[in-house]
């Protein structure tokens, strides 16, 4: 479930979990070495498929329908579910199991772990496996840019379960209170949702003593702003943002709005007065967040019609690619039940499987073609199609960076946060990030 992916220190889709609680929490994972284990997985036997993910008891209920459907259609396969409550504990436990040869047959992997994990020869390569063995499921039904982080040496090792692009949720009441009469989504429909228009709205919100916009401090925020402004972050496996003709100035313009008080870093807000609270009390104009924000709005009992979504602004008003948070499903390379694991993998990820998992959940976007109506059929938010459009042109974290444990978190905490706090400029920050990435990826 992408709603429970940790971003920096916040689970995607669990608005009550502070990102700050996790900022240092992945360090231990980077120190766990994986060794290729001889023999098959010790966790299952032929005819039995064990699978795992993370989540609270309430989260895990969303899997009941897909599990029941699989058991009915595959009565010869015993399906065993072994979840872990905590995201941070989940990956450390999984890495230990993989090293010991006792891991589940099929399991979730966060997009901040999949690139490093697949380089340790513990995931089953999917080349030649997708198709008949997965009930017709192939990689062609997914946005190719979301597969990059799960690909190594031209081999695909995992597919996204579901996703959450960070749309800009906006509060119409807050905008009106600031004297803003233009609707961002309407501007976007006409390709008039420009960076200039957005910055003008931020200034008006600040003048009205409201928070203009808020973002969480993780890779998709920094890189989405750069790419939305026409800049380039990576050229293949090489970080180039520091040399790009657009990126440094664009990032500086973005950072200046934090220094001015027009924008706030969500991670730094005090407990009990976080972005969800600001949003539902009409004290925040824009919030970069996923579909799970529907739950925050409805849970607060406010008029949900006051909220809508829009893509990120661009210099010319046209749509541009931005980062997409995702979780992935993978198969243990040492599974003793490969046929059953592939069958479950296919049923879980195909359009029908995603429908069973997400139809009662307003917290994620399907990763596959064929289930898009789950997002749009309820008509909320009004421009819900924006989430699908952003999924289709968006991208995962860059594989070369994501393959180094904690590198994206280090960039966010040690480099981008000082930029947003005004103690560094964008040019210096990007140069330091370039040096760090070159050093860490050369190891």
Q: Does residue 239 sit in helix, strand or coil? A: strand
Question: In angstroms, how far is CA 349 from the centroid of its own chain?
Answer: 17
Residue 294 falls inside a structural domain: yes
The CA distance from 405 to 112, in Å, is: 8
- Provide the percentage of residues in the chain whose pLDDT is more than 90: 85
Instruction: Tell me, yes or no, whether 318 and 330 share the same domain.
Output: no
104 and 199 co-located in one domain? no
355-378 pLDDT per residue, tens? 999 987 778 999 998 999 999 998
Flag whether 284 is in a domain.
yes
The answer to whether residues 157 and 229 belong to one domain is no
Mean pLDDT of 181-200: 98
Question: Is the pLDDT confidence value at 10 over 80?
Answer: no
Tokens of 74: 């595959």
Q: Please give the mean pLDDT across all residues of the chain.
A: 90
Mean pLDDT, residues 21-50 taken together: 46
Over residues 112-130, the pLDDT tens digits come to 999 999 999 999 999 999 9
Mean pLDDT over 31-44 rounds to 40
Let me know how long the chain is.
443
Residue 200's domain comprises 167-322+404-442
Instruction: Give percent above pLDDT 70 in the chain.
Output: 90
Is a pLDDT exceeding 60 seen at residue 161?
yes
At 2, is the pLDDT very low, low, confident or very high (cuts 50, 70, 90)? very low
Q: Do 357 and 290 share a structural domain?
A: no
Other C-beta atoms closer than 10 Å to the C-beta of 410 total 19
CB 187 within 8 A of CB 144: no
Assess if residue 84 is contained within a domain: yes
- In this structure, the answer to whether residues 294 and 433 fall within a common structural domain is yes
Q: For residue 59, name the pLDDT band (cuts at 50, 70, 90).
A: confident
Angle formed by the axes of helices 247-259 and 426-441, to 10°?
Answer: 120
Sign of CA dihedral 180, 181, 182, 186: positive
Shared-domain flag, residues 313 and 432 = yes
Q: Please answer whether residues 202 and 253 qualify as being in contact, where contact means their C-beta atoms are separated by less than 8 angstroms.
A: no
pLDDT at 108: 98
Residue-level pLDDT at 360? 78
The reply to whether 160 and 247 lie within a common domain is: no
What band does 32 get if pLDDT is binned at 50, 70 and 90? very low
Query: Is 354 found in the same domain as 288?
Result: no
Q: Which pLDDT score is estimated for 216?
A: 97
Residue 321 contacts residue 395 (beta carbons within 8 Å): yes
Specify the number of domains making up the chain.
2
With contact defined as beta carbons under 8 Å apart, do 285 and 211 qualify? yes
pLDDT given at position 443 = 81
Asked whether the beta carbons of 368 and 135 are under 8 A apart, the reply is: no
Interval 127-152: pLDDT, tens = 999 999 999 999 999 999 999 999 99
Q: Residue 215: in which H helix or E strand, if any?
A: strand 211-215
Q: Does 18 score more than 70 pLDDT? A: no
Query: Is 345 inside any structural domain?
Result: yes
Is 27 contained in some domain? no
**Whole-number pLDDT of residue 88:** 81
State the DSSP code for 317.
S
Q: Residue 106 carries which DSSP code? A: E
Q: Is residue 31 part of a domain?
A: no
Residue 16 lies in a domain: no
Query: What CATH number has the domain bearing residue 359?
Result: 3.40.190.10
Q: What is the pTM of this model?
A: 0.90
Same domain, 287 and 435: yes
Q: What pLDDT is stored for residue 6 in this prediction?
A: 37
Q: What is the pLDDT of residues 308-331, one digit of tens each?
A: 999 999 999 999 999 999 999 999
Q: pLDDT at position 24, please?
A: 29
Considering the domain boundaries, does residue 312 fall inside one?
yes
Mean pLDDT over 26-33 rounds to 35
Q: Rounded to 5 degrees, what are φ and ψ at 10?
A: -130, 135
Same-domain status, 93 and 227: no
Question: For residue 217, what is the DSSP state?
Answer: S
How many CA atoms lie within 13 Å of 51's alpha carbon, on the beta-carbon side? Answer: 26
245-296 tens-digit pLDDT: 999 999 999 999 999 999 999 999 998 889 999 999 999 999 999 999 999 9
Query: What are the tokens at 140?
Result: 């062609």
Cα torsion angle, 270, 163, 218, 386, sign: negative
If asked whether residues 136 and 196 sit together in one domain, one would say no
pLDDT at 14: 34
> In terms of domains, do 76 and 160 share one?
yes
Looking at residue 44, its pLDDT comes to 57
Mapping DSSP to helix (H, G, I), strand (E, B) and coil, where does residue 156 land? strand
Q: Is the pLDDT of residue 13 over 90?
A: no
Average pLDDT value for residue range 70-86: 96
Q: Is the bond preceding 254 in cis, omega lying within 30 degrees of 0?
A: no
Query: If we measure between CA atoms, which residue out of 341, 300, 351, 244 comes closest to residue 16?
Result: 300
Half-sphere exposure of 113 (CA within 13 A, CB side): 30
In order, the DSSP letters of 19-66 are GGGGTTTTHHHHT----PPSSS-TT--TTEEEEE-B--HHHHGGGHHH
């Amino acid at each position: 479930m992408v709603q429970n992916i940790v971003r920096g220190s916040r689970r995607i889709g669990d608005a009550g979990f502070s990102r700050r609680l996790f900022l240092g929490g992945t360090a231990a994972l980077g120190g766990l070495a994986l060794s290729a284990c001889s023999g098959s997985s010790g966790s299952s036997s032929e005819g039995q498929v064990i699978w795992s993910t993370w989540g609270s008891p309430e989260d895990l209920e969303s899997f009941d329908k897909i599990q029941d459907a699989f058991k009915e259609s595959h009565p010869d396969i015993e399906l065993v579910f072994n979840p872990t409550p905590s995201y941070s504990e989940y990956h450390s436990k999984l890495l230990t199991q993989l090293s010991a040869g006792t891991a589940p047959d099929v399991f979730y992997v966060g997009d901040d772990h999949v690139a490093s994990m697949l380089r340790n020869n513990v995931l089953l390569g999917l080349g030649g496996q997708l198709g008949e063995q997965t009930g017709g499921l192939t990689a062609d039904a997914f946005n190719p840019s979301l597969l990059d982080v799960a690909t190594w040496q031209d081999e695909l090792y995992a597919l996204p379960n579901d996703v959450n692009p960070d749309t800009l949720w906006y509060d119409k009441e807050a905008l009106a209170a600031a004297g803003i009469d233009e609707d961002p989504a309407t501007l976007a429909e006409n390709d008039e949702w420009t960076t200039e228009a957005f910055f003008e709205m931020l200034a008006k919100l600040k003048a009205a003593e409201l928070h203009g916009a808020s973002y969480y401090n993780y890779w998709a925020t920094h890189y989405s702003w750069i790419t939305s402004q026409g800049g380039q972050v990576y050229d293949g496996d090489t970080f180039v943002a520091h040399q790009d003709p657009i990126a440094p100035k664009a990032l500086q313009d973005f950072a200046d709005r934090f220094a001015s008080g027009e924008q706030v870093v969500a991670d730094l807000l005090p407990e009990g007065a976080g972005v969800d609270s600001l949003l539902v009390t009409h004290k925040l104009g824009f919030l970069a967040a996923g579909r799970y924000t529907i739950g925050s709005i409805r849970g607060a009992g406010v008029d949900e019609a006051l909220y809508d979504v829009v893509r990120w602004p661009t210099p010319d008003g046209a749509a541009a690619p931005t980062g997409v948070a995702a979780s992935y499903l993978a198969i243990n390379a040492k599974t003793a039940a490969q046929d059953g694991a592939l069958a479950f993998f296919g049923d879980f990820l195909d359009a029908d499987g995603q429908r069973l998992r997400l139809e009662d959940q307003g917290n994620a976007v399907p990763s596959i073609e064929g289930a898009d109506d789950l997002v749009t059929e309820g008509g909320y938010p009004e421009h819900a199609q924006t989430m699908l459009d952003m999924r289709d042109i968006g991208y995962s974290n860059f594989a070369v960076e994501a393959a180094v444990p904690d590198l994206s978190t280090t960039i966010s905490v040690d480099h981008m946060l000082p930029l947003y706090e005004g103690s560094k400029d964008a040019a210096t920050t990007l140069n330091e990030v370039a040096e760090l990435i070159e050093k860490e990826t050369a190891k």
